[in-house]
Amino acid sequence: MALRRIIVCALGLAGFVPAAMAQQSITSYFGYYTQDFNSTISSGSTTSLPTGWIAGTAGTTVTASAGTGTAGYYLWGAASSAERALGSVDNAATKTIGVYFQNDTGRTVTQLSVFYKGEQWRAGTGSSDKLVFAYSTDAAGSLTSGTWNAVTALDFASPNAANNSNLVGNNSPNFTYIGAVITGLSIANGGTFTLRWQDLAVTGTDDGLGVDDFAIAVPEPATVGAGVFVGAMVAAGWFRRRRARGAKA
């Protein structure tokens, strides 16, 4: 695709709302939205996430952490660092994070390209922990109600099987770049869609998993695959621009 046609959709990149289930508007048909969570918190707790983002339900407390085995929602990052990822540790009660969008492009959206970096900030004693991805076009920002469609190519499986240790999710091998194109959609202008990552409850203590460097493009031309999209993001200088702004991993 012509990279020059990609227009950065800046709306909401720095927008925050306190506790409402507000959706993130996507206004540019050939644009993309990104979120790196680095403008959240570097210590303490908050109930405010970037516009459209949800941890469980609106208003849930999310805590800055460098890796912990205690169940909860977390903004993962090295101690005192502003560089963050959004995620969770679950126990018997499954934890779910997600993001709620509205199609304001003026056209019907038939495809979505989704890209993110899965990060692991703790290895529990259990094995095969995972963030399981799904999308809904009728959940309207709820992460539980509505009809959900799994996209296994967008699951994040824990890359590090160590036992009971804190990890730095920014360091290899504790992260994975993940991308895929969701096809077969028909989201009318003004319609909404919700993406979610369900943290799998495993036997033994769970891993600390999160989502970072999220990007979504609307739409991807039918002839172009996810790998090309990821390559396009790189070629478009997204990562270089982030580094130029002082952002870390």
Residues within the interface to Ca ion (CB under 5 A): 36-38, 83, 85, 90, 129, 170, 199-200, 206, 212, 249
CB of 133 to Ca ion, least distance (A): 14
Q: Which is nearer to Ca ion, 37 or 193 (CB)?
A: 37
Decide: 40 and 84 in contact? Cβ < 8 Å.
yes
Q: Which is nearer to Ca ion, 4 or 245 (CB)?
A: 245
Which pairing describes strands 16-17 and 175-182: parallel, antiparallel, or unpaired? unpaired
Report which of 157, 79, 166, 165 is spatially closest to residue 118, judged by C-alpha positions. Answer: 157
Q: Which is nearer to Ca ion, 155 or 199 (CB)?
A: 199
CB of 170 to Ca ion, least distance (A): 5
CB of 111 to Ca ion, least distance (A): 26
CB of 78 to Ca ion, least distance (A): 9
Q: Which is nearer to Ca ion, 48 or 110 (CB)?
A: 48
3-state secondary structure the chain: CCHHHCEECCCCCCCEECCCCCCEEECCCCEEEEECCCCCCCCCEECCEECCEEECCCCCCEEEECCCCCCEEEEECCCCCCCCEEEEECCCCCCEEEEEEEECCCCCECCEEEEEEEEEEEECCCCCCEEEEEEECCCCCCCCCCCCEECHHHCEECCCCCCCEECCCCCCCCEEEEEEEECCCCECCCCEEEEEEEECCCCCCCCEEEEEEEEEEECCCCCCCHHHHHHHHHHCCHHHHHHHCCCCC
Q: Which is nearer to Ca ion, 208 or 219 (CB)?
A: 208
CB of 32 to Ca ion, least distance (A): 17
Which single residue brings its beta carbon nearest to Ca ion? 206
Q: Which is nearer to Ca ion, 51 or 170 (CB)?
A: 170
CB of 158 to Ca ion, least distance (A): 8
